[in-house]
Amino acid sequence: MSEGNFAMPRDWRALFADTGAELSCAEAIRARHARGEHDYDGPLPDAVLSPTSIEQVRHAAEICRNARIPIIPFGAGTSIEGGVTAPAGGLCLDLSRMNRILAVRPEDQDATVEAGVTRLQLNAHLRDSGYFFPVDPGADATLGGMAATRASGTNAVRYGTMRENVISTTIVTGDAQIVRTAGRARKSSAGYDLTRLIVGSEGTLGIIVDLTVRLHPIPEALSVARCCFADLRAAVECVTMLVQLGISASRIEFLDEIAIGACNRDSGLDLPERITLFIELAGTPHSVQAETTLVARVAADNEAEEIHWASDPDGCRALWRARHAAYHSCLRLMPGSPAFSSDVCVPISSLPECVAETRRDIDRSGLLATIAGHVGDGNFHVLFLPDPKEAGQVTAARGIYDRLVSRAIAMDGTCSGEHGIGTSKRLKLIEEHGEGGVAMMRAIKGALDPHDILNPGKLLP
């Protein structure tokens, strides 16, 4: 979409003065809001507005509707698929100052928060309540952004993704209406499921200004197994078997030997540089102890070379800190690389084959790439690190990426388990849903945002 599709005003401060929200046109501020955690050298937003209330968001949307100005919602800037870029310029709406926790209801196991509240902020607030919010993508993302991208993370194998943990949202629409998508009842059969429509829509159907999320009891006991393998397929088949046996794991994470080495160097660890599974069991002390024996047996049956258990809180936290830092640790393996990451998700029975074929494809190319993932629910990530000095490596990496996505879709999987579509995977949406499915999405977009001002150029090809 070109800038010429919109009537761009010149006096931004005058235009948005009545909203009462802070506005900046400084180039450094605009540049910081033009990208997430990915390479991007496209246009900057023309201005950045930082509202602190729903009414300020509504007023800004009304101005943008009348002047046909694109609105790009922005949270913590942790997206990696281009979802916060400004291909047509316009107004970046930074929601991070809308960060109030509005209500916590332990008796109903839910909480209502503004869109700019981060997951760590909410869990710090809940610390003494006996409950926590489980969706954990690693980055300290805002809950509004996590809902917009239908985020997932390490806990999804037990607690689900944002799709399962968002009860309702309040949005501001493209025509400046405030709409609440549902109540707080545990179930409803009243009309279309508007909440599910908004969760994962990446800001293209409405601006999420607050949301009500599910809370879960903090488990009594935790234990983390670190299992090392010589063979990648054996490690992933171990995961498949554990899931099929129904163990109460809250996390099952996979890191290849390259990623483990990067974590050792960055996090001061001395883990064996082998293909590794991290398996967290959670529940009562008795149930965790019983399942510890089962996990050890299944890992041994799948030729695990080493099984180490950590049950003390400090030891568990150190392992998960390293896992969450793995992305940035691996980026440092190839300084200056035009690195990019992709995630796919497949049915758990297809996971061993999908991961093994992807590893063979990478090895044949001679590229540096790491594989990690939340494999307990069939989701894994490949971080491509092409050498900037080697001509053709970026092209080769893109070829492996395209084959990976096609392989996952052919296995009845998806082109994105949790990163979203943004600008990077728009054509993959056609491959997955077909022209008919994408046409239906376009019809919904046209009905709810007829002027195409909500995060234009994202998600839909």
Query: Angle 171-39-79 (CA atoms, 0-180°, nearest 5)?
Result: 30
Q: Which residue has the tokens 């994105």?
A: 416
Same fold? 3-96, 101-217: no
Query: Where do the structural domains in the chain lie, given as residue ranges?
Result: 3-96, 101-217, 221-410
DSSP 116-134: T-BHHHHHHHTTTTTEE--
Residue 232 has pLDDT above 60, yes or no: yes
Q: What is the pLDDT of residue 336?
A: 92
* Ramachandran assignment for 150, one of left (phi > 0), alpha (psi -120 to 50 degrees), beta (any other): left
User: Any idea which of 31-45, 223-237, 435-449 has the lowest mean pLDDT?
Assistant: 31-45
- Are 79 and 94 in contact by the 8 Å Cβ rule? The answer is no
CA dihedral 61, 65, 69, 75 (to 10 degrees): 20
Distance, CA of 99 to CA of 114 (rounded, Å): 5
Distance, CA of 222 to CA of 287 (rounded, Å): 10
Could you tell me the pLDDT band of residue 148, with boundaries at 50, 70 and 90?
very high
Distance, CA of 147 to CA of 121 (rounded, Å): 16
Could you tell me the pLDDT band of residue 248, with boundaries at 50, 70 and 90?
confident
Distance, CA of 212 to CA of 215 (rounded, Å): 10
**Cα distances (angstroms) measured from residue 246 to each of 158, 291, 292, 307, 355:** 10, 10, 13, 20, 22
Query: What are the pLDDT digits (tens) for 383-420?
Result: 999 999 998 999 999 999 999 999 999 999 999 999 99
> Which architecture, in CATH terms, is 101-217?
2-Layer Sandwich (3.30)
DSSP state of 333: T
Query: What are the pLDDT digits (tens) for 15-64?
Result: 999 999 999 999 999 999 999 887 777 899 999 999 999 999 999 999 99
CATH code of 3-96, in short, is 3.30.43.10
Which fold is adopted by the domain 221-410? Vanillyl-alcohol Oxidase; Chain A, domain 3 (3.40.462)
